[in-house]
């Protein structure tokens, strides 16, 4: 019935997490997914798994552009949202470069940038509510 029960369980867990998540958690899941794809791409570059590397980098690019960048509200977010959108575009261009040139340093650069933004995003949730 199930060709890979572990993969099936993981997929169900991910779908459940997404369905029950608030908007902040959904963005966190996007960051986690992009970071995971980049870690995988780094390993695949070392292993010379070029097809896998391309798949992982394309997945990260898709998450960054179609998930993180498109979720920005430039009208309400103003300059910050515009700057983040430009930074996400830069990240995508660096990952395209990494894909073509097998450049693990470009992937590491994006991992660092994405990690910093992700950490800041996670801290927003932990900040005390000052709107009382």
What is the pTM for the complete model shown? 0.82
Q: What is the mean pLDDT of the chain?
A: 85
Q: What is the CATH number of the domain that holds 40?
A: 1.20.120.340
Domain assignment present for 132: no
Domain assignment present for 41: yes
Domain assignment present for 96: yes
Tens digits of residue pLDDT in 24-68: 889 999 999 999 999 999 999 999 999 999 999 999 999 999 999
Question: Number of structural domains, the chain?
Answer: 1
Do 96 and 103 touch, CB atoms closer than 8 A?
no
Tens digits of residue pLDDT in 112-128: 999 999 999 999 876 66
Domain assignment present for 131: no
Domain assignment present for 76: yes
Helix axes 104-126, 23-46, angle to 10 degrees: 160
In 3D space, the residue among 125, 105, 104 whose CA is nearest the CA of residue 43 turns out to be 104
What's the domain range around 98? 5-126
Q: What is the mean pLDDT of residues 63-90?
A: 94
Domain assignment present for 14: yes
Domain assignment present for 75: yes
């Amino acid at each position: 019935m199930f060709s890979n029960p572990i993969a099936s369980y993981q997929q169900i867990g991910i779908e459940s997490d997404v369905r029950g998540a608030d908007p902040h958690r959904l963005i966190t899941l996007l960051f986690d997914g992009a970071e995971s794809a980049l870690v995988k791409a780094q390993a695949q570059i070392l292993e010379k798994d070029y097809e896998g590397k391309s798949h992982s980098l394309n997945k990260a690019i898709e998450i960054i552009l179609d998930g993180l960048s498109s979720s920005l509200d430039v009208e309400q977010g103003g300059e910050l949202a515009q700057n983040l959108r430009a930074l996400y575009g830069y990240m995508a261009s660096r990952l395209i470069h990494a894909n073509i040139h097998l450049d693990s340093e470009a992937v590491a650069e994006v991992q660092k940038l994405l990690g910093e933004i992700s950490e800041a995003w996670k801290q927003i949730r932990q900040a005390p509510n000052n709107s009382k």
